[in-house]
Amino acid sequence: MNVVLISTYELGRQPFGLASPAAWLRELGARVTCLDLSREPLAEEAVRAAELIAFYVPMHTATRLAVALLPAVREMNPRAHLCFYGLYAPVNENYLRGLGVDTILGGEFEEGLAQLTRNPPARQTSTISVARQKFRVPDRRGLVPLGKYAMLVMPGGESRTVGYTEASRGCKHLCRHCPIVPVYNGMFRIVERDVVLADIRQQVDAGAQHITFGDPDFFNGIGHAIPLVEALHCEFPRITYDVTIKVEHLLKHGDCLSKLRDTGCLFVTSAVESVDDAVLERLAKNHTRADFLRVIGLFREIGLTLAPTFVTFTPWTTLASYCELLEIVREQELIENVAPIQFAIRLLIPAGSRLLELAEAREIVGPFDDAALVYPWRHPDSRMDALCVRLQETVNAAEKMKRPRARIFEQIEEAVYESFAEGEPQRLARRPMPVLAPRAAIPHLNEPWYCCAEPTGDQLISISATTKGARQAHDFV
């Protein structure tokens, strides 16, 4: 069988979601073409010859881009069996069915794709599987070289080639805004250590100097995570890595953080989301502002870099609470640690979101917008929506000009305080901020991370700018 696996966007990473199923399908004898349209053109000849075309949709932006590409793909090949797989496939099943998608796969999708390759069903099917499966070593043959993806920027400006792998999937936790929850519902699955190490090994052979672990929470399985990084460091002592871990787990397993540092971890990303305890409770994050401050102190003590991420604009964020966030970031000297786009992230409420369990959330959302794949909402204070748009524009423009994070942060502060009306206490009480002294940059990836956010039309165009060659005559943004 001729199979085409398509990724439209995966945060500047070489797609694990193509390489992993490619190994399964090639093992069955399928002829597999992997296309990452964020980095390469759409191979029309492969699409026309395909019997199965499967789109990998791990996130909101990837799904919108894939949906926009469907008419062109269907025109090229009206006979192929169409599949969408990944987190955003099952939650958008009804909409995708209406677009002619034949098979929907969520959760552990490799076995489902293998079954589809063995025997494509004559009718539409949908499967969410969280069953344990024995992973294969991802097959990265035919993928765009690692050097074409996001790079690690080190202090002093050195760039390192980045590989990407996953040591687990799903998550034990039930954060209300998280897109993982509707699919995994508190379950997570381990990728066997030998498989992860073999995947890292082949990426190091291909030039990787740093590895990003894409697990939703690297400490979901602490007994798996620590032996894994110890083995990684033993085999590749010069390879560095980064991971993502919840605030809750950073405190619970604080005694393991020095082990991360000593095995080559350069930074830990943590979805802090807010410094407003009322917002954190609504999101069911299971941590508080005080917990976040404790984690900051813990990281300073250990000598490990923390990279917080935020959902800065929610229906419950106020101008005052936004100012509190900026004050904490400045006071805690975290400006260089936070990607500027994090100050302009707007809460996404997709299909299946647990936020809709809250009556106050149901009251503010409009009818589900199929094309946007979200429940739209407006802030009760219109200044917040206007500020969000202004900050998105400010950050996008500043990053195109390669302005330093400290300067962008000052622009954000200025925009926020200008949003207060004349005579409001916060505006009257504002004192001139001292000019921020230059600081050494921290290690960071050079492609911004959009998570749990609702991209604007301009952001979608920006995100997919590198796909112009892929679109050719089919402009799908």
pLDDT tens for 37-55 read 999 999 999 999 999 999 9
Mean pLDDT of the 252-260 span: 97
pLDDT recorded at residue 123: 79
Cβ atoms within 10 Å of 117's Cβ, excluding its own: 22
Query: 48 burial class (0-12, 13-18, 19+ CB within 10 angstroms)?
Result: middle
pLDDT recorded at residue 467: 38
- In 141-211, which residue ranges form alpha helices assigned H by DSSP? 181-184, 193-205
More confident residue, 402 or 230: 230
Rounded to whole angstroms, the Cα distance separating 298 from 302 reads 6
Q: Look at residue 365 and tell me whether its pLDDT is greater than 90.
A: yes
CA distances from 50 to 78, 119, 126, 177, 467 (A): 10, 15, 21, 37, 21
Q: Look at residue 198 and tell me whether its pLDDT is greater than 70.
A: yes
Q: Look at residue 468 and tell me whether its pLDDT is greater than 60.
A: no
Model confidence, pTM: 0.92
Buried b / exposed e along 284-296 (16+ C-beta atoms within 10 A) = bbebebebbebbb
Mean pLDDT of the 397-420 span: 90
- In 332-456, which residue ranges form alpha helices assigned H by DSSP? 359-364, 382-400, 405-418, 425-428
Q: Which of 88-92, 109-113, 353-357, 399-403 has the lowest mean pLDDT?
A: 399-403
Rounded to whole angstroms, the Cα distance separating 66 from 275 reads 35
pLDDT recorded at residue 463: 37
Q: Is 286 left (phi over 0), alpha (psi -120 to 50) or beta?
A: left
Q: Look at residue 474 and tell me whether its pLDDT is greater than 70.
A: no
Q: Which residues make up the CATH 3.80.30.20 domain(s) of the chain?
A: 151-446
pLDDT recorded at residue 417: 86
pLDDT recorded at residue 6: 98
Q: Look at residue 443 and tell me whether its pLDDT is greater than 50.
A: yes
Which single residue is written with the structure tokens 């379950």? 187
CA 155: distance to chain centroid? 24
Q: Look at residue 430 and tell me whether its pLDDT is greater than 70.
A: no
Domain 151-446 has CATH 3.80.30.20: yes
Which single residue is written with the structure tokens 């302005």? 403
Rounded to whole angstroms, the Cα distance separating 421 from 270 reads 34
Q: Look at residue 184 and tell me whether its pLDDT is greater than 80.
A: yes
CA distances from 244 to 40, 122, 256 (A): 28, 41, 14
Query: 477 burial class (0-12, 13-18, 19+ CB within 10 angstroms)?
Result: middle
Long-range contacts at 133-137 (CB < 8 A, ≥ 24 apart): 133/108, 133/189, 134/192, 135/20, 135/110, 135/191, 135/192, 135/195, 136/20, 136/23, 136/24, 136/27, 136/110, 136/195, 137/23, 137/195, 137/198, 137/199, 137/202
* Alpha-carbon torsion angle 347, 244, 65, 285, nearest 10: -20
Per-residue pLDDT tens over the stretch 67-79: 999 999 999 999 9
pLDDT recorded at residue 433: 61
Q: Look at residue 62 and tell me whether its pLDDT is greater than 90.
A: yes
Sheet of 305-310: strands edge to edge? Answer: 305-310, 265-273, 240-244, 210-213, 159-165, 151-153, 444-445
Q: Strand, helix or coil at 428?
A: helix
Q: Report the share of the chain in percent with pLDDT over 70.
A: 90
pLDDT recorded at residue 5: 98
Per-residue pLDDT tens over the stretch 290-335: 999 999 999 999 999 999 999 999 999 999 999 999 999 999 999 9
Q: Which residues make up the CATH 3.40.50.280 domain(s) of the chain?
A: 2-136
CA 56: distance to chain centroid? 14
CA distances from 196 to 201, 226, 240, 276 (A): 9, 13, 15, 37
pLDDT band at 434 (very low <50, low <70, confident <90, very high): low
pLDDT recorded at residue 456: 43
Rounded to whole angstroms, the Cα distance separating 215 from 219 reads 9
pLDDT recorded at residue 436: 64
Q: Look at residue 453 and tell me whether its pLDDT is greater than 70.
A: no
Maximal C-alpha separation, the chain: 72
Q: Which CATH code, of 3.40.47.10, 3.30.1130.10, 3.40.50.280, 2.170.120.40, is assigned to 2-136?
A: 3.40.50.280
Cβ atoms within 10 Å of 121's Cβ, excluding its own: 11
Q: Look at residue 362 and tell me whether its pLDDT is greater than 90.
A: yes
Q: What is the mean pLDDT of the chain?
A: 90
Q: Look at residue 86 and tell me whether its pLDDT is greater than 60.
A: yes
Tokens of 219: 């400490």
Give me Rg for the CA atoms of the chain: 22
